[in-house]
Each structure stands twice: as C-alpha cells, then as structure tokens.
Amino acid sequence: MRALNEMTNVEKAYLLAKLFPERLKDLVEFQIREAALHRKNEQYIRGLWTDTLVTADFWFGLVERTEDIMQKMKSSLPKSQRIYSDQLYDGYNAIFSMHCLITFAGTPECGAQLRQAIHLLFGEQKLFNLEMYRS
C-alpha cells in the first residue's frame, strides 16, 4: 500500500469502502439524497453562489454527472468497492463525492469510526459551505 499522501482519490475511496463494506450502501444512498437536495434547491444555491474558482455551472455539472452514474450503476455501486471508487472518485467526479463524504461525516448516522476514517483520508474541511439551504 502506498503512503496516504501518495494515494489518489480513487485509491482512498477504495480503501474506505474496503474498510467499511457494510456502510457502502449508506454512503451511496447519502450521495443520492445529497444530489437530490442540490437539485431541489438549485436556484437558491445559485443565488447565493459567490465568485469562486468553481462556478455554480461547474458544480451543478458535477451533480448531474453523479446523478447519471447513480442511475446507470445504482445496483452495482453499493455492492462493489471497486465500481464505487472508480466511478465516483475519478477525475472531477471526486469533487462532489468528497463533498458528500465530508458532509456525511458530520451527520449522526455516520458513526465515530467511519467519521475518523473519512477525516483521515479526505480531511475535515468542507470543499464548499452549502449548509445554508439545509434548514
């Protein structure tokens, strides 16, 4: 195994899925809910979006790609650590997926060990503060 600082996002996601195979379904379901929540609140989020390196159009493109992957592979994502990591954490897809993971880590349903693993592998800092639409 490579050192943590040498691992790609795909490798980190694969390791997380291998360590917690019983939680893979929960992670996938949370990401589906998170994408749906973004869609439901898209206009509101766009209205609050500030000038950043990542534009709202780019962000919602990531949401759309995630939705497409979830739709095409909904039965295999929660069952295969390799498919989960390869499909959701490769390239730019990793940005939204990491956002979902770090957000999930902040929920009561995550659990202490999974939360620690997520923070170790992907950090604690949310990529974007989009909490304002959750209330």
Taking each continuous run of H as one helix and of E as one strand, the counts in the chain are 7, 0
The residue segments making up the domain with residue 104 are 11-133
**Structural domain includes residue 27:** yes
What is the pLDDT at residue 53? 82
What does each C-alpha distance from 71 to 38, 63, 78, 105 come to in angstroms? 16, 12, 12, 24
How many residues are there in the chain?
Answer: 135
Give alpha helix (H) positions in 20-55.
24-40, 42-48
**Structural domain includes residue 124:** yes
Say whether pTM exceeds 0.95.
Answer: no
**Structural domain includes residue 5:** no
What is the pLDDT at residue 52? 78
Total tally of structural domains belonging to the chain? 1
User: What's the CA gap between 6 and 11, in Å, rounded?
Assistant: 10
Q: Per residue in 52-62, is it b (16+ CB within 10 Å) or e — as a string? A: eeeeeeebbeb
**Structural domain includes residue 81:** yes
**Structural domain includes residue 96:** yes
- Look at residue 101 and give its three-state secondary structure: helix
Show pLDDT as tens, one digit a residue, over the chain (135 residues). 899 999 999 999 999 999 999 999 999 999 999 999 999 999 988 888 877 788 999 999 999 999 999 999 989 999 999 999 999 999 999 999 999 999 999 999 999 999 999 999 999 988 777 665 554
